Amino acid sequence: MPEILIRCPITGRDVHTGIALAADVFLHTEFETHPVACPYCGARHSWSKKDAYMQFPPERTPSASRKEPH
């Protein structure tokens, strides 16, 4: 499930909010302002939906060591 991230205004790095939602739920949900502790600059950033974006997990690929049946 994708996680909601914000961008640190000091460092420009992606900050995980600790919230994961389905994309359709994110689009249709109203959010109040939430604080998050930034691991990069040490500040607490308040964020709202307009500041947030979804991080989709990387595609899963079959293990190179796993043999596919023929």
Question: What are 67's two structure tokens?
Answer: 């043999």
Question: What are 21's two structure tokens?
Answer: 């939602």
Q: How far are the Cα atoms of 14, 15, 28, 30, 70 from residue 53, in angstroms, in the given order?
A: 10, 10, 13, 14, 41
* 17 contacts 24 by C-beta, under 8 angstroms: no
Question: What are 35's two structure tokens?
Answer: 């604080």
Residues of the chain with pLDDT under 70: 57-70
Residue-level pLDDT at 56: 79
* 15 contacts 45 by C-beta, under 8 angstroms: yes
Residue-level pLDDT at 59: 58
Residue-level pLDDT at 46: 95
Give the global pTM. 0.74
Where are the chain's structural domains? 3-55
